[in-house]
Amino acid sequence: MEDENKLSIYRAARTIKRRENTLYNALRSIHDDSIFVGEISQLWPDLPLLANLRCGLWYFPKFHSTCYFKSTDGHNNNWSFNTSRLNLHVAHLAGQKGGCIIVDSTRKGKRFPDSMSKTIPIWTCVFNRAIANHRSRMQDHDKLMEGVNSHNHESETCDQHVENTRQASCEWDSSLHMPLWVSKTEKASIEERLEGWTKELEASGADIASLASCLKKPLRPLWISQKTVIWLNEVPDHDSWDFTPIILVSASSSTGVIQHRTTSEFSWNYIPGAGDDEESWARGLSPDLFWNNVYDIINSGPDLCNQKVANMVEKDRVYRAQRGQNAPQVTLKTPKSSHSTSDPSYVEPILSSDNLDVKNDIQFCDDDSTLYWLGTTNIAVGTALAAANTTCAGCILNCGQDSISACHLNTEAYLHLPIVNSKLDRFSLRKNLASAVNFAKLNLRKGKTLLVSCQNGEDISICVCLAILTTLFDDGGTFDDGKSFSETHITKLEMRRRLVFVCKFAVKARPSRGNLKQVYSFLSCGRASSHTPSAPNTM
């Protein structure tokens, strides 16, 4: 009987939570929080606004760029500095603009996600330490040059330069700055690991010299939430600080109680961190589609929101399909028990495109069609849409699920390898890498440019490029037809160095751990074929 009561309480709690976490509650909460984000961004309008993927992308209509700092890298006793997520573009952007603002959010109970409390502070500190080491090496070099030029008439100028460098090095702050709510014990444990992480960064192949010349002041995080008190008449200019600010904005209110909010038309329950875990609530809606139609969605109210969004999602899907873009059918769970459509927790079936009149009554979204050329390697990486639209690539390696139109290419210049995510098939990438490398070798030998694409251009295509660069190029990024690979035992460190090279150019790269493991397995087993391959079969 007691177990039944517990189960009943559990079911009741789940039902209440499900009714609170409705689509309208989530979107209305995000919309309210975005007003706060806009107010903060206007305090420092010259600083670029970045979204920390994926949650942060919901909280403002337009971002300058994105970044990827994972909360798991900051979890207690699981602290990490991950060289596969260096976010080098963030540091360069902060150096160019004098700082940046990063937006993220978290569920109730916390003011800031661990990505902001610990992951980013660790990142700024490790980069500052690596830059300080580089500056110290440059200082030693200048001292050596001072000795060489000691009898030169221009030694006075050299002395002044050395003195300026020495003074700047002493002023470079490489200490760990963390928020007050991180305990001293935890901070001390993190500090013990900083030296090792700094060595990992220096060994990763990241261009610290370029970063050191770009950053005039050390990086330092600042934290702003809805509870932060800011005197508007005393807001300092970002240039007035003696550091490069990385302003971390936690978009949501951190109240621990349910906030019931009301306007003249509707009422709803506020959800802190509503943008988190979008698969569980967004029903196929993307941040771009939401912000393109935000007022229409918000003004539809709680009762009509689900149907309104379902209409938009399906119309956007049909719009994409008509243009040859990625357009998977959205399927939703139906309730186990009968509900009325007026019940906010009710999930109606998705609309059929057969009965849908697609008109321009909503603002549609287009997939990203950006190409990222990887230095001078003649290799580019991008989305499936980029591959379908481009004419500047001599050959295309399509790693997405759907084939694309490549009628301007002959059969030897197009290969379709439908590789799926590691969560669906742990060996899908590994099984196709030999074919991918052989196709690349065949075309790169002829001096052709190669475009590697997948659905989002962020994971599978990045990993395929990583395998191609490692097996067919030397350390300097020069094509050598696999000569250096055949003479080298590839270690995880070497693979990470090549990944840093890729991410330097493909700033949206987010390779998954499962796919990187498959790449390393392929490389360590030397699966690349050394013979000249025959022309591949197209699909």
Of 264-268, 424-428, 464-468, least confident by mean pLDDT is 264-268
DSSP string, 208-247: HHHHHHH-SS-EEEEEE-TT----GGGPPPGGGSSSEEEE
Domain boundaries, the chain: 23-140+173-250, 283-323, 371-526
Output the pLDDT for position 381: 95
**pLDDT tens-place string over residues 448-494:** 999 999 988 999 999 999 999 999 999 889 999 999 999 888 898 89
Which of these, 255, 312, 247, 309, lies nearest to 28 by C-alpha position? Answer: 309
Residue whose tokens read 């005393």 = 234
Q: Which own/partner pairs from 1-8 qualify as long-range (CB within 8 Å, at least 24 positions apart)?
A: none
Report phi then psi at 398, rounded to 5: -95, 110
Please give the structure tokens belonging to residue 15: 């039902």
- Contact by Cβ (8 Å): 462, 470: no
Please say if the pLDDT value at position 13 is more than 60: no
Pull the structure tokens for residue 53: 């993927």
SS3 annotation, 253-270: CCCCCCEEEECCCCEEEE
What is the number of alpha carbons within 13 Å of residue 180 lying toward its C-beta? 1
3-state secondary structure of 195: helix
CATH 1.10.3720.10 given to domain 371-526: no
pLDDT for res 256? 59
pLDDT of residue 500: 93
- Residue 343 is predicted with a pLDDT of 46
Say how far apart CA 291 and CA 486 lie, in whole Å. Answer: 51
How large a percentage of the chain has pLDDT more than 90?
59
Q: Which residue has the tokens 């030999």?
A: 434
Q: What tens digit of pLDDT does each residue of 524-536 get?
A: 986 444 444 444 4
Q: What pTM, to 2 d.p., does this model score?
A: 0.82
